Structure formats: structure tokens, C-alpha cells
Amino acid sequence: MNIEMIRAAAGRLKGNAAVTPLLESPLLNEVAGRRLLVKAECLQKTGSFKFRGGWSAVSALAPEVRARGVLAYSSGNHAQGVALAARLHGVPAVIVMPSDAPASKIANTRAYGAEVVLYDRQKENREAIGAEIAERRGLTLIKPYDEPQVIAGQGTCGLEIARQAAEAEVMQADVMVCCGGGGLTSGIALALAAEAPGLRARPAEPEGFDDVGRSLAAGRIQRNAAGAQSICDAILTPQPGDLTFPILKAHCGPGLAASDEECLRAMALAWARLKIVVEPGGAAALACALFRGDQIEGDAVIATASGGNVDAPMFRMALERYAAD
């Protein structure tokens, strides 16, 4: 993994992925206690940054390999990103998804033309199911984060943050990144290290799933304890990736963690102040920027709003609890 792979991915994404805006609201700055710039990746195609990695990986395949089709396993955002990238390349996609994924994520993955295979998250192993189908049907597996071209694609978000922060005259800031397996965080960290040395990536995780933060503190990979629960479905991974962790260790600041309620509050504030729709897992970085400011230094902070694929009842609940009537 290196910055040249990210720049090459940016070339392949140009004109195919959206350049998402870096948003700011004076009234949200007041809540954060400093300038807060929000990278609105919920406005990316398929509603999350995952389209970047999906497009990067599918477009990097040799044409004769790509033509046989691709396979991914995902709770929903990588699923949609790979599904649409495959459709736009005119190749088949099979997506292995947990049967308890948000209904809209399953429906959208099918709407983008993919074949969805559901599995039971408690009893079955998605890697084994995926490997068997890929082998049998000659499909190329596109892993959700521990895959160089996926990391390169997510890193293009970091190239945009570097340029857009400079345009906003923010040269020095922590960049909170919603973090599951670390694909987006490691990609952004690599891009910032190369292009914006005053900006530092920091993983933002749900409480109870702060494996990356604890791994960074310990200096080696730590797993999450079994049995924790969170509404942040998009970023619930057991441990950092083998490929992502060394990058995170080399380039990231300390991790932060947000509670489910803080994520819901951040969703309501993003709705009220930025006019964007953010899902719970996509709100973890914003929640840390807003409510964990004591762990952040400097006059400015940047947060990724990494996805917006949330079912209506969950979103209504965020507004009922935290949006002023």
C-alpha cells in the first residue's frame, strides 16, 4: 500500500464517483466549540464511501477476470458499493449479507442488480460461505477492508479532504474517521500523511467495539469482547485488519469512542444543521467531534459522515429523541 495506489484509484474514480462536499455550519461550530468541517460521504453514490473502494477494486481487475463477476460479504454498505460498481461495469455480483442487516440495505443491494445470499450471523461464517460460492462460480472476492485496491479507493476520500480543508484554510486538525475494519481510516491516513501533514486521522468507534483504538494503545491487535451490542451496524468488526492495522499504527492518532445515544444525537444535529442524512455507524466520527471535544486539540476538527443508509424507524427515533420540535 502506498500513496501512488491511492492516486491511481483517484484517476479511475474520476467522473464515476462523486466529489462530496466538506460542509460547515456556524451553529454546529458552536456545539463543537471549534470549527467543525464534515466530509459528507453519505452523499457518495450508494449512500456511503464504500462505492469508492468498490469501484476502485472492480475497475482494477483484469477485464477477463472481471467479466466472470465479483463476490463480496458485507452488512450493507460495501454490499451496495460493490453491487453498483459491478453493474456499471456490466458484470455480475453476488453479495453475502447477514439476514439481520437493515432492510433497506438488503433491498438496495438487490435494486443495484446484485444476487443477495443471506446468512445467519450467529451460526454461520460469511467468509466460508463466500469462499465456497466464489470458488464454485469463478467469482473474484472483494474483501470489505483488508484488500489493497479497496483501501486505495477509500483513500481517495482523504485526497479530497486534504484539498478541501486547505481551501477552507484549515491546515492543522484531527480528522475523525468512522472506523470498522479500518479501510477508510487507513486510506485516509495514508492520503493525509502524503498530502496534508498537518491533518491527522483518528479512528472513531462505537463503545464496546473500540478494537482499533485499544489495538493502537496496546501496539498490537486486540479483539472486541463478545456480546457487545450497538446500533452502529456498519462498523461492528471484531478486530483491525492484518493489512489495515500496520497503516493505522504508522499514521493515526489515538482512537475515540462514542455511545449509541451520542450517535443518535449527532444524527439529529446533522439533520438540523447540515441537512444531511447520516446512519448510526456513519455518525460515530461526528459524535466524537461534537461530544468528546475534551479529547481533541486545536481550533478545528474534521469528521467524516461516512454513510447515510439508515432505516426509517431508526432515523425517526433519532429525531424524536434529539431534534427540537
Q: Is 324 in the site for a second copy (CB under 8 A)?
A: yes
- Angle at 225 (CA atoms; ends 220, 226), nearest 5 degrees: 140
**CA gap 169, 249 in Å, rounded:** 28
H/E element, 116: strand 115-119
Cα separations (Å) of 275 from 35, 81, 88, 294?
A: 18, 23, 29, 26
Using the minimum distance from each CB to a second copy, give the nearer residue, 104 or 259.
104
27 versus 171: smaller Cβ distance to a second copy:
27
Site for a second copy contains 319 (CB under 8 A): yes
> Is position 164 an interface residue for a second copy (rule: CB under 8 A)?
no
Residue 5 lies near a second copy (rule: CB under 8 A): no
**43 lies in the site for a second copy, by CB under 8 A:** yes
Residue 92 found at the interface with a second copy (CB under 8 A) = no
Residue range at the interface with a second copy (CB under 8 A); choices 58-66, 92-100, 108-116, 235-243 = 108-116
User: Is residue 31 exposed (0-12), middle (13-18) or buried (19+ Cβ within 10 Å)?
Assistant: middle
Using CB under 8 A as the criterion, what x/- string covers residues 253-272 for binding a second copy? ------------------xx
- The neighbour count for residue 204, using CB atoms within 10 Å, is 32
Binding segment (CB under 8 A) for a second copy, from list 104-112, 122-130, 133-141, 216-224: 104-112
| CA neighbor of 194 nearest in space, from 14, 41, 40, 5 | 5
Check binding of 313 to a second copy (CB under 8 A).
yes
Asked if residue 77 binds a second copy (CB under 8 A), the reply is no
* CA 150 distance to own-chain centroid: 11
Residue 84 found at the interface with a second copy (CB under 8 A): yes
Classify residue 153 as exposed, middle or buried by CB count within 10 Å of its CB (0-12, 13-18, 19+). buried
**Contact residues: a second copy, CB under 8 A:** 18-21, 23-27, 40, 42-43, 45, 47, 84, 103-104, 107-108, 111-112, 271-272, 274-278, 308, 311-313, 315-316, 319-320, 323-325
